[in-house]
Amino acid sequence: MQRAIPFEIFRYAVILGIVAISLVPTLWMVSMAFKPIAEWSAAGADLTWWPRNPTLDNFRFIFGQSSTDLIVALERTAGRPILASLLTATFGTLIAMTAGTAAAYGLSRFGQGGNLPLALIQLRLFPPMAVMIPVMIMWSFLGLIDNWFGLSLIYGIVTLPFAFWLMKTFFDDMPREIEDAALVEGCTRWRVFVRVTLPMMRPALASSALFVFILNWSDYLIALLLTTRDWATIPVYMASLSSSMTGQLYGAKAALGVIAAVPPIIMGIAIQKHLVRGLTFGALKE
Amino acid sequence: MSEIVLENLGKTFGDFTALADMNLTIANGEFMALLGPSGCGKSTTMNMIAGMLRPSTGAIRFNGRDIVDVPMAKRGVGFVFQNYAIFTHMSVRENLAYGPRAQGVAAAEITKRVQAFAELLQLETMLDRPAAGLSVNILQRLAIGRSAILEPAIFLLDEPLSNVDAAFRAVMRSELKSLQGQFGQTMVYVTHDQLEAMTMADRIAVMDHGKLLQVGTPLEIYNNPADAFVARFIGAPGMNILEGTLTRHADTVSAEVAGLGSVTLSPAMQGAAALQAAREVQIGFRPEQINAADQGLTMQVTFVERIGARTIVHMEQGASLAKAVLPADVPPPVAGDAWTFAVPDDAIRLFDPVTGRALGGRTH
């Protein structure tokens, strides 16, 4: 299609603007992570796009190596929060995906369940804050506060509606003939589910799991309320990175931010094939 | 031995009756086609035979045994779906081996059978290719192979050729027929394509709106449709059906077609028709049986279609529409002209205008 040149210029300008707005903060974070204290704490006039003296000091600092320039020592290093985040987000995702997939399959194939799908999505309709205080009291009563499994459990519960709805749409779209074909050839329902349905659903499972994982990984509010010290996650820990002398430790925060971006990116790359391919049931007539 | 008997079989979905009171016996080794337009209940019938749907009423017997409560995995039927239902995450070989493996067949036997069926269906060269990305023709061949490899005594095929291209359809028609000859299964074949039914089936069951209208050999159904719907549905183009009135003469009965002329009935037909003399009927005759003549019915030619071996003449007169099929060597009438044609008296069929059922004796 032939378009007018001015239109093309306008179009690319808009695209460039959108890309800049979404990527510049990320770029700024990465750049800041490699700046020595003098550069990230400098007064506005001295701020530069790129670090003049690139350094790994910020990374060393959050892992406990006190910097010579920064006269603060951290009470806690980033190691434990990273472990906490990895553990809780992973187990939370496992819980949500297991329960969500099972519920979605049951409802999609055996029909009943009445208002369950809607009831589940309603969990997301009111602000999390409204339920978090009661949850906090319950969790404290059950001794689940500041526990990796306590936090994993609530992550699983909170993201279950997403896992359920995503998987239900995928199951609804999967033609039943495929399962019927396996059933008629003598397979049990369970075997069909494990050997035929789940393998064909791999792309769906992968993209849903990534989505749920990112939700869990980036949670701040729940972790803030349900952890105190031992199992504080990356976002909670990041908020605590400040000192009375220098104020917010932006360099350390940026370094932690760079580290926090790594797992979702790795997961994204690992399942990219599935994400790009999407759900193509190539063997069936559209 | 695998005889299938459907007894007063019915299926309703809420208020909707998909199938009502179906009685049909499919003999062991018979190739039975269930033929009808979409929504006629043929797939519903098939799914009940396979066990995917539970009948609302009636019974299904395999060799005398009621199998309604037998789960589909235990019925020992093979099923080929219209949409292939191939497991795309497996290779061609794994797809073929899937059924035998699920049924606990020994590994050596599976290898042997996969090889044999791959050769039979010309799939040897692609055994280790992933099933995703194969052409639809190959996929349908694979789907047939995957069911056939279990050597089921009952083989159910639900419109297996409707997605493949025309040339391949012709190939598969003869392959399916020879496959059945080789294994002698009882085959039930659902289709809306009368050509498939006519060429492959031993007998055809014609259905419409959840009712079984007629069961018979392809020729019986073509020559003596039991119903005006069957008459119109079978044949390409289908039978002409015109409104008419029977008139009794001294020793004959003729049928007047309003505004077109009259035709005489054959002696066999008169015997039955006499019972309903001087009443409204529907007069049916096949387009292929029309000949140009000096006397008979006259209609306006609207359009002439030449398709090589045959010429189809479209005609109209008042509200009546009819078609004639002429051999290519017969000079066709010209569009816009009035054309007079005759119908041999033994080609005339009569139908009740209210119920659509055939009236009168069979002549072929």
Q: Could you report the per-residue pLDDT of B86-143, keeping only the tens digit for each?
A: 888 889 999 999 988 888 889 999 999 999 989 888 888 989 998 888 888 888 889 9
Q: Is residue B91 in some structural domain?
A: yes
Q: Alpha helices, DSSP H only, in B61-135? A: 92-102, 107-120
The CA angle B160-B165-B167, to the nearest 5 degrees, is 105
Q: CB within 8 A of A134, min separation 6: which ones?
A: none
Mean pLDDT to the nearest integer, A124-133 = 78
The CA distance from A139 to A143, in Å, is 6
Asked if the model's pLDDT at residue B270 lies above 80, the reply is no
Chain A residues with CB-CB distance to B133 below 8 A:
282
Contact: B79, A188; criterion CB under 8 Å: no
Q: Are residues B48 and B181 in the same domain?
A: yes
Q: Which residues pair with B189 in a beta bridge?
A: B33, B157
Give the least confident one: A41-45, B55-59, B163-167: A41-45
- Pick the closest to residue B213 from B363, B351, B10, B357 (CA basis): B357
Higher pLDDT, A149 or A122: A149
Q: Are residues B246 and B172 in the same domain?
A: no
- Pick the closest to residue B294 from B237, B351, B338 (CA basis): B338
Beta-carbon neighbour count of residue B262 at 10 Å? 15
Q: Are residues B63 and B209 in the same domain?
A: yes
Asked if the model's pLDDT at residue A281 lies above 50, the reply is no
Interface of B with A (CB under 8 A): 50-52, 72-75, 77-79, 81-89, 98-99, 102-103, 131-134, 136, 139, 143, 146-147, 150, 163
Beta-carbon neighbour count of residue B58 at 10 Å? 18
Q: Is residue B229 in some structural domain?
A: no
The pLDDT value recorded for residue B1 is 59
Asked if the model's pLDDT at residue B27 lies above 90, the reply is yes
Contact: A185, B74; criterion CB under 8 Å: no
Asked if the model's pLDDT at residue A42 lies above 80, the reply is no
Mean pLDDT to the nearest integer, B22-42 = 93
pLDDT band at B218 (very low <50, low <70, confident <90, very high): very high
The pLDDT value recorded for residue A285 is 37
The CA distance from A123 to B207, in Å, is 49
Q: Is residue B183 in some structural domain?
A: yes
Q: Are residues B275 and B175 in the same domain?
A: no
Contact: A285, B82; criterion CB under 8 Å: yes
Q: Which of B194, B223, B252 is the last residue of a domain?
A: B223
The CA distance from A37 to A246, in Å, is 10
In B147-260, the DSSP E strands lie at 154-158, 186-191, 203-208, 211-216, 240-248, 253-257
B237 burial (CB, 10 Å; 0-12 / 13-18 / 19+) is middle
The pLDDT value recorded for residue B275 is 58
pLDDT band at A279 (very low <50, low <70, confident <90, very high): very low
Chain B residues with CB-CB distance to A196 below 8 A:
87
Chain B closest-CA separation from residue A268 CA (Å): 21
Q: Which residues pair with B322 in a beta bridge?
A: B315
Residues B321-341 have pLDDT tens digits of 999 999 988 888 989 899 999
Q: CB within 8 A of B143, min separation 6: which ones?
A: A181, B80, B81, B84, B85, B86, B160
Higher pLDDT, B271 or B129: B129
Q: Which of B223, B252, B273 is the last residue of a domain?
A: B223
The pLDDT value recorded for residue B278 is 55
Q: Are residues B153 and B245 in the same domain?
A: no
Q: Are residues B140 and B245 in the same domain?
A: no
CATH of the domain at B279: 2.40.50.140
Q: Is residue B32 in some structural domain?
A: yes
| A221 within 8 A of A132, measured Cβ to Cβ | yes
Asked if the model's pLDDT at residue A92 lies above 90, the reply is yes
| B59 within 8 A of B8, measured Cβ to Cβ | yes
Mean pLDDT to the nearest integer, B230-251 = 87
The pLDDT value recorded for residue B279 is 78
Q: Is residue B179 in some structural domain?
A: yes
The pLDDT value recorded for residue A283 is 37
Total domains in the fold of chain B: 2
pLDDT band at B184 (very low <50, low <70, confident <90, very high): confident
The pLDDT value recorded for residue B264 is 82
Give residue for tokens 């072929």. Answer: B364
pLDDT band at B58 (very low <50, low <70, confident <90, very high): very high
The CA distance from A77 to B92, in Å, is 54
Which among B49, B72, B87, B142 is the top mutation candidate for probing chain A, defined by the most A β-carbons within 10 Å of its own β-carbon?
B87
The distance of Cα B229 from the centroid of its chain, to the nearest Å, equals 13
Which residue does chain B place closest to A198, by CA atoms?
A: B89
Q: Is residue B231 in some structural domain?
A: no
Query: Does the structure's ipTM exceed the value 0.85?
Result: no
- By residue count, chain B amounts to 364
How much of chain A exceeds pLDDT 70, in percent? 88
Which residue does chain A place closest to B157, by CA atoms?
A: A181
Asked if the model's pLDDT at residue B277 lies above 50, the reply is yes
Q: Are residues B18 and B91 in the same domain?
A: yes
The pLDDT value recorded for residue A212 is 92
The CA distance from B140 to B47, in Å, is 19
Asked if the model's pLDDT at residue A116 lies above 80, the reply is no
Q: Are residues B125 and B178 in the same domain?
A: yes
Chain B closest-CA separation from residue A199 CA (Å): 7
In this complex, which of B87, B136, B139 lies closest to A178 when CB atoms are compared? B87
Residues A228-256 have pLDDT tens digits of 888 888 998 888 887 766 677 888 889 99
Which among B88, B142, B154 is the top mutation candidate for probing chain A, defined by the most A β-carbons within 10 Å of its own β-carbon?
B88
Q: Is residue B202 in some structural domain?
A: yes
Q: What is the mean pLDDT of chain B?
A: 88
A261 touches chain B (CB under 8 A): no
| A120 within 8 A of A162, measured Cβ to Cβ | no
Q: Are residues B245 and B219 in the same domain?
A: no
| B140 within 8 A of B84, measured Cβ to Cβ | yes
pLDDT band at A68 (very low <50, low <70, confident <90, very high): low
pLDDT band at B276 (very low <50, low <70, confident <90, very high): low
Contact: A284, B78; criterion CB under 8 Å: no
In this complex, which of B83, B98, B132 lies closest to A177 when CB atoms are compared? B83
Domain assignment of residue B248, given as a range: 240-359
pLDDT band at B254 (very low <50, low <70, confident <90, very high): confident
> A168-177 in b/e burial notation, b at 16+ Cβ within 10 A?
bebbeebbeb
Higher pLDDT, A16 or B252: A16
Contact: A283, B88; criterion CB under 8 Å: yes
CATH of the domain at B145: 3.40.50.300
The pLDDT value recorded for residue A284 is 41
In this complex, which of A180, A199, A280 lies closest to B85 when CB atoms are compared? A180
pLDDT band at A280 (very low <50, low <70, confident <90, very high): very low
Q: What is the mean pLDDT of chain A?
A: 83
Residues A177-201 have pLDDT tens digits of 888 888 888 888 888 899 889 988 8
Q: Are residues B304 and B199 in the same domain?
A: no
Q: Are residues B71 and B175 in the same domain?
A: yes
Angle between helices A202-217 and A250-270 (to 10 degrees): 170
3-class secondary-structure state, position B305: strand
Contact: B85, A181; criterion CB under 8 Å: yes
The pLDDT value recorded for residue A2 is 64
Q: Is residue B210 in some structural domain?
A: yes
Angle between helices A250-270 and A79-110 (to 10 degrees): 40
Which residue does chain B place closest to A189, by CA atoms?
A: B73
Q: Are residues B206 and B317 in the same domain?
A: no
